[in-house]
Structure 1
Amino acid sequence: METLLAPPDCRYFAAGLCRSCTFIETPIAAQQASKQQRCAELLPGVPEAAWLPPVPGGVAGFRNRAKLAVGGRAGAVTLGILDRGGMGVDLTDCLIHEPAIQSVIPILAAFANDLQIAPYSVPKRAGELKYIHVTVSPAGELMVRFVVRSDHGLALIRRQVDTLRELLPQAAVISVNLLPEHKAVLEGEREEPLLGSALAMELGEGLEPITLYLRPQSFFQTNTTVALALYEQAAAWVDSVDPASLWDLYCGVGGFALFTARSATGAARDVLGVELSEQAIRSAERSASEASIPARFLAGDATAFALAAAPAELPELVVVNPPRRGIGETLADWLEASGIRHVIYSSCNPESLARDLERMPSLSVRSARLFDMFPHTGHLEVAVLLERS
């Protein structure tokens, strides 16, 4: 991830071809100040002194995942976005992707052209190849996923997978996702693996890094450097209150649970992660086993799990990292009434965070931090440490 301070010179933005990075012409410091102000306005109950300095997300080369919409025609595809009319806009040289992703986009375009596979046309509701998703690990390995309409597209790619492996020796995972429906989503439910099963994301330096394993349909933050800073901040907050037990609700592949399980004092800490995805739970269990971290993981609905717990089973601290909609009224009300002393809430949507905090008046913000996970956009990550009054 580049550490430049000046905005990058994006020819796509200048030409009006892509406006995804809405604020790319605004200096990064001004972007972060605007986001900080927005958080302060939405969370007026947070004392100014509680805000830690924002964590920067970079200016260019920071995004670890490319979601490339396929346009054009068979033999002459575009990889990038679709315009308002559903036509492809090629963004081969997009500056926000990590260099390892930028370097393989032309290779993937050439591969798709050689396949003579028809890009899916949104206006015509016809064609085959919809998206190519590429994720890069800190070690430079790749996960490459093709989203197609039918088994015909799957068969075309499967027949040429050895060629693709030669073109991309750094690919650890190759898969095909089937999305037969005509709807505005990035993937379907069915995933067909062609190579490997999980991308290893080694995070942290020193003697005890933690490796998280991303399967093709797993969630992971799009900015690896900021994701690590987020996990490390949560670990520091947990160490500051030193709970004997902790739940990580919406744990995904286990990032918060694994980074907070190691107590700075050396005392044993009972950690349990809960996540709906069974694949994510298997990944978290693998990470825990390899790192010799005695964290436990359970596949299930986080809210249902919490509501079913007996009072004697409740932890001293809960971490929640919900989707954009937030934890919702039911879980917020449960946390308010639970008596649990500390909560860490990591949110990608300060609006839903503000709504949830209003339902938990007994929990006040002790510390807060903005993480600029999504530079050049209005999106952000904000985390707070809550303490019961």
Structure 2
Amino acid sequence: MDCHHFDAGRCRSCSWLPRAYDDQLAAKEQGCRDLLAPWSDLEWLPPVASRPERFRNKAKMVVGGTVDAPTLGILDPAGAGVDLQDCGLHEPPLRDALPALAAFVTRAGLAPYDVPRRRGELKHVLATVSPDGELMVRFVLRSTEALSRVRKHLPTLLADLPTLVVATVNLQPEHKAVLEGPDEIVLTERQTLRMRVNDVDLHLRPQSFFQTNTEVAAALYRQGRAWVDEVAPARLWDLYCGVGGFALHATAPDREVVGIEVSAEAVASAEQSAREAGVRATFAAGDATTYAARSRRGQPDLVVVNPPRRGIGADLAGWLEASGAGHLVYSSCNATTLARDLAAMPSLRPRRARVLDMFPQTGHYEVAVLLEREA
């Protein structure tokens, strides 16, 4: 992928950009193999490649510049805006929508937040595109001062972007490096973005997490489903379930599926998806480790975990080690913490693993591992 921003030194987010994509993928798999080398009998499935460009389903744009000439992109070391509307990572519908969003900033008089001077209103524009090409856009504001202007000019934006189905204002009043705040004001009739992944419709609410790369996420869920169906558990727990990607791919008429996620917004999304699909799955908001330790639902036959980069940690690993779960599907975005967690569960032996390149042009990737309890 060619990028004039990288060549000019304006943006170095794609730290692996100078490397050929095939070399990137090979290096990621080898790095993961090295970290999981203690399990020498682990079977490695072929890695899942991504499109090296135009793969990101979300744009997280810092707003800089001025009302009349806003920038959507990042900030330079001095806090000035660097415009990245033509970033080659974004899916085409996202890239095509950004000029209209920049024009809306001017039309609605949304003063970009000046980080060094701590003044202004609009901090970020967050946009997500579904596989159907529909858009969700969130304007992260410092306060409600500009809310009336956003509402006033929203009809024009909806006319400019007919695929925009969910628009919100998020409030982040604090001066710190946090992308969004806790309060969300939905401005459209629709409140969720429908993400059609494989044969499952997932509803995405504004503050719900979804994988950045839709095509590779679909491959990840297919792999998880294949392993679950192979084991055929009667009772499955999906811990850190997010909007229910793994859980809703793993449902079956004779299977009890429970998803646990700390985000209430994500749980609401998962519940809506399950209800509309008419499948047997229960979701609840809560801490995964606390749920496992206190649950009275009976021991699961198989557990799926998809934790953040810090991994599942010693407490949950200890519970899984002592539990009656016969199998574990572990999806990790950090193979270093994955290896640590696997070492804490010696009774659950890693059998198969697969690297999925969720993040081309960087050193990051996803890896899925199937573990089986040793007799």
Corresponding residue to 1:51 among 44, 47, 53: 44
**For 1:134 and 1:250, how far apart are their aligned partners in 2?**
23
Determine if contact 1:40/1:46 at 8 Å carries over to the other structure: no
Shift of 1:115: 2.2
Residue in 2 that maps onto 1:256: 246
**For 2:294 and 2:110, how far apart are their aligned partners in 1?**
50
How many residues align structurally? 373
**For 2:149 and 2:124, how far apart are their aligned partners in 1?**
15
The within-5 A match list for 1:332-343 is 332-343=317-328
Give the alignment's Cα RMSD to 1 decimal. Answer: 1.2
**For 2:298 and 2:339, how far apart are their aligned partners in 1?**
28
The within-5 A match list for 1:257-296 is 257-262=247-252, 268-296=254-282
Secondary structure of the 1:151 match is coil
TM-aligned CA distance change 1:337 to 1:49, over 3 Å:
closer
* 2:308 aligned with 1:315: no
**For 2:36 and 2:68, how far apart are their aligned partners in 1?**
51
Matched to 1:299, the amino acid is A
More displaced 10-residue stretch of structure 1: 272-281 or 220-229: 272-281
Secondary structure of the 1:313 match is coil
Residue in 1 that maps onto 2:74: 81
**For 1:259 and 1:15, how far apart are their aligned partners in 2?**
43
* 2:169 aligned with 1:176: yes
Residue in 2 that maps onto 1:198: 192
Residue in 1 that maps onto 2:353: 368
Corresponding residue to 1:188 among 181, 186, 191: 181
Corresponding residue to 1:299 among 285, 306, 323: 285
**For 1:360 and 1:85, how far apart are their aligned partners in 2?**
47
Residue in 1 that maps onto 2:363: 378
Determine if contact 1:134/1:145 at 8 Å carries over to the other structure: yes
With normalisation by structure 2, the TM-score equals: 0.97
Secondary structure of the 1:17 match is coil
Identical aligned pairs, as a percentage?
57
Matched to 2:237, the amino acid is W
Corresponding residue to 1:117 among 91, 110, 121: 110
Residue in 2 that maps onto 1:155: 148
Determine if contact 2:300/2:324 at 8 Å carries over to the other structure: no
Corresponding residue to 1:218 among 208, 231, 234: 208
CA offsets 1:129-179 (integer angstroms, 9 cap, x no match): 110011000000000000011111222212211111111111110000011
Corresponding residue to 1:246 among 216, 236, 243: 236
Secondary structure of the 1:152 match is coil
TM-aligned CA distance change 1:349 to 1:62, over 3 Å:
same
CA offsets 1:186-215 (integer angstroms, 9 cap, x no match): 1011111101200000111xxxx2100000
* 2:225 aligned with 1:232: no
Shift of 1:126: 1.0
**For 1:70 and 1:279, how far apart are their aligned partners in 2?**
25
Determine if contact 2:42/2:353 at 8 Å carries over to the other structure: no
**For 1:352 and 1:156, how far apart are their aligned partners in 2?**
46
Determine if contact 2:100/2:157 at 8 Å carries over to the other structure: no
Residue in 2 that maps onto 1:3: none
Shift of 1:74: 1.5
The within-5 A match list for 1:3-18 is 8-18=1-11
Determine if contact 1:69/1:130 at 8 Å carries over to the other structure: yes
Secondary structure of the 1:160 match is helix
**For 2:295 and 2:38, how far apart are their aligned partners in 1?**
30
**For 2:17 and 2:154, how far apart are their aligned partners in 1?**
37
Shift of 1:65: 0.1
Q: Which ranges in structure 1 are unaligned for 5 or more consecutive residues?
A: 1-7
**For 1:185 and 1:332, how far apart are their aligned partners in 2?**
29
Secondary structure of the 1:63 match is coil
Matched to 2:14, the amino acid is C
**For 1:48 and 1:20, how far apart are their aligned partners in 2?**
36
